[in-house]
A and B are shown apart, each in its own frame.
Chain A
């Protein structure tokens, strides 16, 4: 019976990794379902998980068109490495560069529960590794280098295999301007706080002046931030328009803080 192939984002773990213990009609029927599904979808192979069954069963199609059944397979030895581009039905049409072992030996059981061993190399070795990964609840994501994984995850997000060379950064140079504006506001706040305990009008007058000049500085930094931030955002084509909202919001928050502080200072501290 042809079955629906489970695809991302249905998780391939938890329920889908257990050895076959009883070799009966249920198992044979599962194997036939795998074969039917492979044929209809013109695939190289399938694992029981991919059609929603939790047994460790793999069926791959051989070059002559016949099927190779592996039950409870284990990779025992490994030798050498090869890197290739892989696709899997689980991730639709997406591909990734994966590092695999060149030569492997495996042990597995046939449908009569007899144990066999097998040596494989090259493409067949890679195909077996890909499928056996699934029997332990993994997929090729676990095998990717961190760089390739980041690229692939981006592909997953956009549903396309086209390489995305650039991403919208999460940190910008403009953040330094925000820090500077905040630092100046903190200085004003400290001056305001200290002024509350000073009686001498000369000192108060001096302190008010410093607060005023610092507030002009903070205002200037906010203006520079507002325009520079927009310029910087346009350098990254992948940054969405949501950043404009962030820039306006950040500027408004900073100016409100500054205005509140200076208003308080004007009425409570200003000796003039």
Chain B
């Protein structure tokens, strides 16, 4: 009997674990180690953050689902990896620390044949002074990264609406809280959902909305922007985003590295070298992501973390980390199998794999501060990668060590993104976009690096309906209900 351990139960890890359990059956063991008791459909946290959904609607208990799937569930966080075992055993193992009530702080070593690192990111609020401490959110801003954060954000939003109804003007500042953030899309969704809710509450005229982000142009979204083909026309995402911001009277600051947050004020540095300050009454700033801080040890207990993990804490996989300058970047730099180059039984998926380099053009301020989006690995690609990695491991377990690995390069993969711009059955809007490939391939598609036949976008009510349907579909799929395998990632 082989044992596969999946570290993390987010979108990618959950997908990998559930498919692996289905394909392996009861002859082998799948173990999920995740510190959370509940699974969260993260995209819908935006609606929790504006009070349009409850925390319960976007989460469910993992234990009964894993029990049904025959997965061994450990509510714990992974602390370290010993990929070659230790002095007393050659068997690789993971050291975990329980987080479940009654066992909190207790440690356990679990041996494995294969391991998938799908821990997701550490929400690195501590990277910006005042934004938070370590992975803990600070007191000045809100976040929509977790259901609890989003619930808190909705409460703060309610207070602001109350103040506006009482005649007190409010300033909203939404965006990224550091020069190297990703997930601009989530902040984009949040600012327009807030705008929509303020309109519904009849207080839009009492609010000043401002966007702040590390993108060098509006609509970069961490993928270097895209051209959206719609109704026979192609529109740059910059033009699309600028039109939307202007139409909804939302001002913007771009090319910004937020370097300090205080009560009611952020300090930032711009790509042109200028320093600025922006006041706010309500602010949601996405934190930068980092690896969760897993350590790795050799057989002799020597620290080999640097061998397995990149400096940002994400797991090294079969990517070309030596691509160098922007001019040398190629689509082929991106990983295909997500296998660790040192340990063949170790894989990563979702945000946990170390990307070879950004997708957007790298830029620095004259002071040398890097300001630019890091590459997104969330949503559809993370689900596809999770399933692909599970497929590879299952093949190796069932067919033998020489079974070929499956591939899912982001440079060969398309992605669909539905960005909500307001929730409502009849007045909701969402921007539905597809992009192919996620990572531009300048050799195959000279010019934009993408196939414009498959890169398109549209905003409207239908997009909102799709977004809402997707919420129910993915909640259904993640709970392994009837037909879950038929729902694509």
What residues of chain A have their CB less than 8 Å away from a CB belonging to chain B?
11, 13-19, 21-23, 54, 72, 74-77, 105-107, 115, 117-119, 136-138, 142
Contacts and interface: CB of A to CB of B under 8 A. Distances in A.
Identify which of A76, A77, A138 gathers the most chain B CB atoms within 10 Å of its CB.
A76
A218 to B, nearest CB: 40
B255 A16 contact: no
B447 A136 contact: no
B234 interface: yes
B233 interface: yes
Interface stretch (B39-47, B301-309, B361-369): B361-369
Given A13-B234, A138-B238, 6 more contacts: A15-B448, A17-B227, A18-B442, A21-B329, A76-B272, A105-B274
Contact of A76 (B243, B270, B446): B270
Given A13-B227, A16-B447, A22-B327, A76 B236 contact: no
B133 interface: no
Contacts of A115: 363-364, 366
A258 B271 CA distance: 74
Contacts of B361: 19, 72
B222 to A, nearest CB: 15
B238 A77 contact: no
B298 interface: no
A19 B360 CA distance: 10
B332 interface: no
A22 B327 CA distance: 5
A14 B227 contact: yes
A11 B239 CA distance: 15
A250 to B, nearest CB: 31
A74 B239 CA distance: 13
Contacts of B216: 74, 76, 107
6 contacts: A18-B442, A18-B447, A21-B326, A115-B364, A136-B217, A136-B225
B449 interface: yes
Contact of B272 (A22, A72, A77, A142): A77
A62 to B, nearest CB: 20
B70 interface: no
Given A14-B227, A72-B361, A137 B272 contact: no
A13 B235 contact: yes
A7 to B, nearest CB: 18
Given A76-B270, A107-B216, A115-B364, A137 B442 contact: no
A219 B224 CA distance: 66
A105 B366 CA distance: 13
- Interface size class of chain B, counting residues whose CB lies under 8 Å from the partner chain: 20 to 34
Contacts of B236: 13, 17, 136-138
A36 B272 CA distance: 30
B235 A107 contact: no
Given A13-B227, A107-B272, A117-B273, A76 B254 contact: yes
Contact of A17 (B254, B327, B448): B448
Interface of B: 216-217, 224-225, 227, 229, 233-236, 238-239, 243, 253-255, 270-274, 326-327, 329, 361, 363-364, 366, 442, 446-449, 452
A19 B326 CA distance: 10
A13 B447 contact: no
A15 B453 CA distance: 12
A21 B272 contact: no
Contact of B366 (A17, A23, A117): A117
A18 to B, nearest CB: 5
A111 B255 CA distance: 22
A17 to B, nearest CB: 6
Contact of A74 (B217, B253, B449): B217
A98 to B, nearest CB: 14
Contacts of A13: 227, 233-236
A18 B327 contact: no
Contacts of B239: 136-138, 142
A13 B233 CA distance: 8
A76 B270 CA distance: 8
A76 B227 contact: no
B227 A21 contact: no
Given A74-B216, A76-B272, A105-B272, A18 B243 contact: no
A212 B326 CA distance: 84
**Complex A-B, nearest 10 residue pairs according to Cβ-Cβ distance, in ascending order:** A117-B272, A14-B234, A136-B236, A13-B234, A76-B255, A21-B327, A136-B238, A137-B236, A54-B447, A105-B272
Contact of A15 (B243, B255, B326, B447): B447
Contacts of B253: 77
A263 B364 CA distance: 84
Contacts of B274: 77, 105
A21 B442 contact: yes
Nearest to A14: B234
A107 B448 contact: no
Given A11-B234, A16-B447, A137 B271 contact: no
Nearest to B449: A18
A204 to B, nearest CB: 50
A13 B327 CA distance: 23
Contacts of B224: 19
A105 B447 CA distance: 26
A77 B274 CA distance: 10
Contacts of A18: 442, 447-449
Contacts of A11: 233-234
B235 A117 contact: no
Contacts of A14: 227, 229, 234, 447-448, 452
A105 B233 CA distance: 30
A264 B59 CA distance: 69
A77 B217 CA distance: 10
B364 to A, nearest CB: 7
